[in-house]
Amino acid sequence: MTVSSSVPAAVATAEPIIAVEHVYKSVEDSTGSLDILRDIDFRLARKETVAIVGASGSGKSTLLSIIAGLDTPSKGTVRMAGQDMFALDEDARAALRGQKMGFVFQSFQLMGNLTALENVMLPLELVADRQARARAQEMLERVGLGQRLNHYPKVLSGGEQQRVALARAFVVQPAVLLADEPTGSLDFATGETIMQLMFDLNREQGTTLVMVTHDRAIAARCDRRIVIEAGRVSNID
């Protein structure tokens, strides 16, 4: 099922930052071929906030991985700022991710042997940014962790670790932020604080936010919602 007719006029009149074009994903298991995604097709505008929602096992996290170029589709493609991601080799896709994308995960994905400051410096150091330390410190101060710069993840609370993850994602000023259940391992109050911070940073930087969530209240805060059911887009609003 193609739902391109649901794309806002703003996307149709300018090059979308993300174009998902008739994406299919199938895997082989002991019973044969399993279809995870079927004919996913939509466009996202620059600075748009979009929630991908659906039940567990619906294919939404697989879709996010394909948008990131971390997984490959069986058919179809994804264009990032006009660039066909799957016309690139793995190294070139990694370089594109480094230039265009930030990531926030449910499990934080921090480096346990690095301090908060070093974790946030890491993506900047990978591109030889000479201001890595100063920029990382400024971003940690922005997320309220100016007093925790030299602490390791194991001594930080879950909420603090996710703040470090947010700082690491936004310090590179990405065109696109991809978030996979960013509050899934946090209590309600901490999750609310983290979501507000994410939306604030997203607005300040003019980032396109694509977030996988099962929480309809969080999804309602986004400009649009893409509903995935059994591997298909069932609705875009």
Tokens 């994905």, residue located? 109
Q: How many CB atoms lie within 10 A of CB 173?
A: 12
Could you tell me the sign of the dihedral formed by the alpha carbons of 49, 53, 56, 61, in that order? negative
pLDDT in tens, the chain (237 residues): 334 434 444 444 578 999 999 999 999 887 888 899 999 999 999 999 999 998 888 999 999 999 999 999 999 999 999 999 999 999 999 989 988 999 998 888 999 999 999 999 999 998 889 999 999 999 999 999 999 999 999 999 999 999 999 999 999 999 999 999 998 888 899 999 999 999 999 999 999 999 999 888 899 999 999 999 999 998 888
Classify each residue of 9-29 as buried b or exposed e, where b means 16 or more C-beta atoms within 10 Å of its C-beta: eebeeeebbbbbbebebeeee
Domains in the chain, CATH or no CATH each: 4-236 (3.40.50.300)
Q: Give the C-alpha separation, 59 to 126, whole Å.
A: 31
Q: Which amino acid is at 137?
A: Q
What tokens were used for 156? 């930080």
Cβ 120 vs Cβ 139: under 8 Å: yes
> Which of 165, 179, 166 has its CA nearest to residue 210?
179
Say which DSSP state 154 is in. G
Q: Give the C-alpha separation, 190 to 91, whole Å.
A: 37
Q: Give the C-alpha separation, 27 to 35, whole Å.
A: 7
Q: Give the C-alpha separation, 98 to 172, whole Å.
A: 8
